[in-house]
Structure 1
Amino acid sequence: MEEELVNRKKPMAAEAEAAVIGSMIMGEEAIAEATNALTKDDFYSKTYALFFEAIVSLSNDNRSVDTITLIERLKSMGAPSDVCTADYITQLLMDVPVSSRIKEYVSAVKNASLLRHTIDVAKVIEDMCYSQQSDPADVIDEAQKKFMDLLSFTGETTLSDISAIARDTLLELEALSKRKGKMTGVPSGFHDLDFMTNGFQKSALILIAARPAMGKTAFVLNIAQYAVLKANVTTAIFSLEMSQGELFKRLLASESNVEGDKLKKGNIGDSDWPRLIKAASSYGKTRLFLEDDKNPTLADIRRKCRKLKYEANLGLVIIDYLQLMNEEGNQRRSRQEFIASVSRGLKNLARELDVPIIALSQLSRKVEERDDKRPILSDLRESGSIEQDADMVMFLYRDDYYNSESAKKGITELIIAKHRSGEVGKVELAWIPNYTKFANLDKSDKTKKYDKKEPEGKTESGGKLE
């Protein structure tokens, strides 16, 4: 058995490689088709790789590809003399079954190449394991990264003709028009916010920032609560400050309307238990994942999110909060450089997984030095890169926190300061500290501060939330 493993040959498509080269010699269309998907490294045969390189070189020089020019170019590249002959090239041409099937030949060559690349990646990971010099978590992260790269490795150009883009865009708009106002992103459950954003969109990095005691964590937990219970979205929460138990107590208080202080102290009445049990049972039927690692790196979060995407169709990621993430390895960078790499990494992860990522962030103390303490973009700590990478930036502000005589007691302003694909503005929410939750303001009755009725999956415009 071991001898068979040692003597195994890597996958190859010899006949397809010969057919690709022969077809390229026959015509420009085949050259365009082959170079769009292949490189010389995709050929198992070094000879065919050399022919491919020579043909591409001639094409790039706007020279015709024929027996004479090809032999001349091959010789200039130092090709073996036995392949620089008219007989060899003639045989290549004779070996092409049907040149019009170039796409099939290219596909066969590419598939064999991908299998060889997969073997090479596996060998690298195997060597890392046998060396015992790498941390297992680093090995797993490297394996995930390399295999994810293979999944997206087609070699084809990402350039698209405008006519194709126009067609796809019109089809997308047609599909949207048929949704009749339905959410296109993950809903928050806050009517006015969802009306402005149409939900948190796939691949978006959303930043939520505020000074301490404004309710950042409560706000994102309310979003997670609605996402899993009402919209059936698989959600992962990475909390760098609170334990899993503390997080779940907050979620319980919010859903059951049992005061959070009762859960902290254990002063739970008989009438509270049915609501708590019902809330816990509801959460138990969802796909909500809580992580309370206090020192995670970007690689840790990336690895766990990739796993959840594969196993549970991850749809929303929440990170509380950005500045508490840990530096990877022994890198020694300035704080600003580190935060820049984290924000860029999170944006790339959102695009890779095609899910919205919500990250909480601190604000600098400059806010406290102003008369108007409403946050602005320049208040973001290490702001330059964060502001640039985020698709949306939102701030939480409570006037009654700073002004005891405020006319807006119990009301939080959610300030949308940046919105790459929509409008900016302000949304007002009710803050209910006893249950550590936010709620929609009841605009139909001025005597009420908030709407006690949970939203049933509809925006104020009448469109259903999905």
Structure 2
Amino acid sequence: MPPYNLLAEEIIVGGILLDPKIIVNIAHKLKPEAFYFLPHKLIYEAIFNLYMSGHPVDLLSIIYSLRSQEILVKVGGIEKILYFMDQTFTNLHFDDYVALIVDKYIRRSLIQYGSNLINSSYSIVPIDTIISTVEKDMADITQSYHYQDLYSMSKLLKTTLSNISNPSLINQVAGIPSGFYGLDAITQGFQNSDLIIIAGRPSMGKTAFCLNIAYNITNAIHIPIAIFSLEMTKQQLIYRLLSISSLIPSNRLQSGRINYDDWSKLYDSISSLSRFKVYLDDTPNLSTTTIRTKTKKLNQQEKNLGLIIIDYLQLIQSSIGEDSRSQELSIITRSLKSLARELNLPVIVLSQLSRNVEVRNNKKPLLSDLRESGCLTGNTLINCIKNELIAIKQFNRYLHRYILNLNFSSFKLIYSDQLKFMYHGFKYVYFLSIARNKIINLTANHKVLTKRGWIRIDNLYIIDQIATLSCPDDINFNFVPLVSINLFSKQLTYDLGVKPFKNFLANTVIVHNSIEQDADLVCMLYREDYYNPQTEYANIAEIIVAKHRNGPTGSFELIFDPYTTTFKNIE
């Protein structure tokens, strides 16, 4: 028989039926799928969904929910409900019973994954796919049930005071210093567990900027750094680092045009760089799984790996196939953020910006240029808690609302907190007409949920069926036919950010939202002389800190030498 604990399941279900407030303390630890017996699972799932959707949780609402879903008989009727209530007391230590249920669920999952692994190993499935699937399965288990209780403020304040009073922090930044005064002044250095995105259009100097950061860090504090280059070879990176260190133009190094004075500089640079603990990997088409495996191995080898740099995001392959590249990139950034937290170090990822920059008069990049999602017009109605319909233009970044979105674990509609509100300016939008008199205006690159998965508007077919809310008073959805798509006009546009499932309902249609949410810090590079060679700002690079989850944003300037690809502080 598979592992289970009948008594623990009965006590938890009965305890909540007696005292529904218990669900508040255990909902984040215990998911419905953890129950082995179907009646227990169905009852707990009804309670869990009521709580997550913001509805009152009491005995009558639970029974009504079971009856409306036509599963009251399946769980054993009112008699079974009363039986569960007789099996428990409200003063028990429910956390212990939750732990027992979770323990048995994880054991059952491991048995299932082990069986799948055996079957896959006998098949013709590529070995990389099998390994990626195993690692994903293990990550799903640990992430789903790796929780920690809240810490008291008094305990945290003691630790914080100890850090503040540490004499070694005087006149230093709290994190890993980049070597660039302007950046460190804004960020206080790169913080452990942060995902940092360095973004820019081609030829802005993203790779050079990150190599300068790596050189500055390892030259100053000698921590080990791992660099994954999916675009440039190891030899090209070595030439770049030699040029940064020796100040000899990289084209002269590669062509061998070295004069007598340069040889001394070159030998000194080689001697210096050879002492650096910088590890290079130029494997093309790396997956997040492979990056995770290699960095964890290196971390065990070095004990104190300090920083990971990946060049660049759009070339990373996801270990799991997705319906759209945008959704795939979202999974990749989430995986890299998870890696940063697991190893407790900063992860820097380079990223291309969208071509929207090139069509604007002002070429300075915006945070919206990083996102793969599109935008909605201001009058689009967002489905909020208590059946409220609020136009997206009435949202703001300070007042958060609970909005309806699709939970991909249970495939049910739930309410989640709105974490972001973005204004994107004027953009061309399309007019979508959907069956049952549903309409929505959104940009070409915004995605909607269809039977084919998440599909951009400009990739929809007239035969597609779109996921929409069944009716205003319900929280179920179904797929209805697309009637027409037409280019509409230029409109003011907006977008929302929602976690964890990154979608929401707009005009009752399930739409996707942006991918940059996983990043803690987003820096963008801009060089005016790239677009205007006659500018007075020649060889000046502006670094724009467009997003900083834990502090201020801002910008600063550096001197850029295109011949040696070096960035220097402006004294």
Distance apart, 1:79 and its partner CA: 3.8
User: What is the CA-CA distance between 1:209 and the residue it aligns to?
Assistant: 0.6
Counterpart-to-counterpart distance in 2, 1:379 and 1:369: 11
Does residue 412 in structure 1 map to residue 541 in structure 2?
Answer: yes
Correspondence for 1:403: 533
The structure-2 alpha-carbon separation of the partners of 1:171 and 1:25, relative to structure 1 and needing over 3 Å to count, comes to same
Q: What amino acid is the match of 2:123? A: S
Larger strand percent: 2
- Give runs of aligned pairs for residues 371-450 of structure 1, distance below 5 A: 374-375=364-365, 385=514, 391-397=521-527, 399=529, 402-404=532-534, 407-441=536-570, 443=571
Q: What is the rounded CA distance, in whole Å, between the counterparts of 1:438 and 1:26 in structure 2?
A: 66
CA contact (8 A) 1:412 1:428 kept: yes
**Is 1:114 matched up with 2:87?**
no
Q: TM-score by structure 2 length?
A: 0.56
Cα distance change on mapping 1:76 and 1:360 into 2, 3 Å: closer
User: Greater helix percent: which structure?
Assistant: 1
Deviations 1:148-170 (A, max 9, x none): 12112228799x7xxx6866875
Paired letter, 2:267: P
Task: Say if 1:40 and 1:403 are closer, same or farther in 2 by CA, change over 3 A.
Answer: closer
Contact 2:367–2:546, Cα closer than 8 Å, also in 1: yes
TM-fit CA distance, 1:435: 3.1
> Quick check: 167-176 or 273-282, which moved more?
167-176
Query: Unaligned stretches of 5+ in structure 1?
Result: 1-8, 66-73, 444-466
**Displacement of 1:379:** 6.3
In the alignment, the residues of structure 1 paired with residue 536 and residue 82 of structure 2 have an alpha-carbon distance, to the nearest angstrom, of 91
Q: Which residue of 2 aligns with 1:103?
A: 95
AA aligned opposite 1:187: P
SS, match of residue 59 in structure 2: coil
Asked if 1:266 corresponds to 2:396, the answer is: no
Residues 275-354 of structure 1: pairs in structure 2 closer than 5 A: 275-283=268-276, 286=277, 288-296=278-286, 300-305=287-292, 307-309=294-296, 312=299, 315-325=306-316, 338=325, 340-353=326-339, 354=341
The 8 Å contact of residues 415 and 427 in structure 1, kept in 2 or not, is answered as: yes
Distance 1:36 1:331 in 2: 27
Q: Deviations over 1:281-330 (max 9, x none)?
A: 222xx2x343323334xxx1344135524751665443333444568888
Matching of residue 358 in structure 1 with residue 488 in structure 2? no
Matching residue of 1:147: 138
- Secondary structure in 2 aligned to 1:183? coil
Please give the per-residue CA displacement for 1:93-140, whole angstroms capped at 9, x wherever unaligned: 6xx9x964443333233223222222222222332232223x322222
The answer on 1:222 being equivalent to 2:212 is yes
Counterpart secondary structure, 1:395: strand
Inter-CA distance 436–39: structure 2 relative to 1 (3 Å threshold)? closer
CA distance in 1 between counterparts of 2:329 and 2:73 reads: 49
Q: Quote the sequence identity (%).
A: 29
Match of 2:128 among 137, 159, 165: 137
Q: Structure 1 stretch 178-187 or stretch 41-50: which is displaced more?
A: 41-50
Matched, 1:248 2:216: no
SS at match of 1:192: helix
- Deviations 1:209-266, CA, capped at 9 Å, x for gaps: 1452x42221111112234443455544332321111112212332344543443133
**Greater CA deviation, 98-107 or 340-349?**
98-107
User: Mean alpha-carbon deviation: is it higher for 18-27 or for 221-230?
Assistant: 18-27
Q: Which residue of 2 aligns with 1:194?
A: 184
Alignment of 1:148-167 (within 5 A): 148-154=139-145
Letter in 1 for 2:200: A
Q: CA 1:166–1:306 in structure 2 vs 1: closer, same or farther (change >3 Å)?
A: farther
SS at match of 1:187: coil
- Asked whether the equivalents of residues 33 and 102 of structure 1 are also in contact (C-alpha less than 8 Å), the reply is no
What does the per-residue CA deviation read over 1:410-454, in whole Å, with 9 as the maximum and x for residues that have no partner?
A: 43332334545444443222223443221223x2xxxxxxxxxxx
Distance (Å, rounded) in 2 between the aligned partners of 1:41 and 1:250: 52
Contact 1:430 1:439 in 2 (8 A): yes
Q: Partners in 1 of 2:371 and 2:98 — Cα distance?
A: 51
Q: CA deviation at 1:46?
A: 6.2
Where do 1:73-88 residues align within 5 Å? 76-77=73-74, 79=76
> Pairwise CA RMSD of aligned residues?
4.8
User: Are the aligned partners of 1:186 and 1:227 in contact in 2 as well (CA < 8 Å)?
Assistant: yes
Residues 288, 335 of structure 2: 8 Å contact kept = no
What letter matches 1:247 in structure 2? L
Could you say which structure has the greater relative contact order, defined with CA pairs below 8 angstroms and 6 or more residues apart? 1
The one-letter code of the counterpart of 1:396 is Y
Secondary structure of the residue that 1:416 maps to in structure 2? strand
Residue pair 2:526, 2:541 contacting (<8 A) in 1 also: yes
State the one-letter code of the partner of 1:195. Answer: A
Aligned mates of 1:99, 1:327 — CA distance in 2:
47
- Between the aligned partners of 1:80 and 1:226, the Cα distance in structure 2 is 69
Closer, same or farther in 2 for the Cα pair 1:232/1:106, shift >3 Å?
Answer: farther
Task: Give the structure-1-normalised TM-score.
Answer: 0.67
Say which SS state the counterpart of residue 253 (structure 1) adopts. helix
Report the Cα distance in structure 2 between the residues aligned to 1:100 and 1:28, rounded to whole angstroms: 14
Kept after mapping to 2: 8 A contact 1:367/1:375? no
* SS of residue paired to 1:152: helix
Tell me which residue corresponds to 2:194. Answer: 203
C-alpha separation between the residues in 2 aligned to 1:274 and 1:229?
16
Q: Would you say how many aligned residue pairs link Structure 1 and Structure 2?
A: 402
1:278 aligned partner, one-letter code: S
Partners in 1 of 2:95 and 2:553 — Cα distance?
A: 48
**What residue is the counterpart of 2:475 in the other structure?**
none
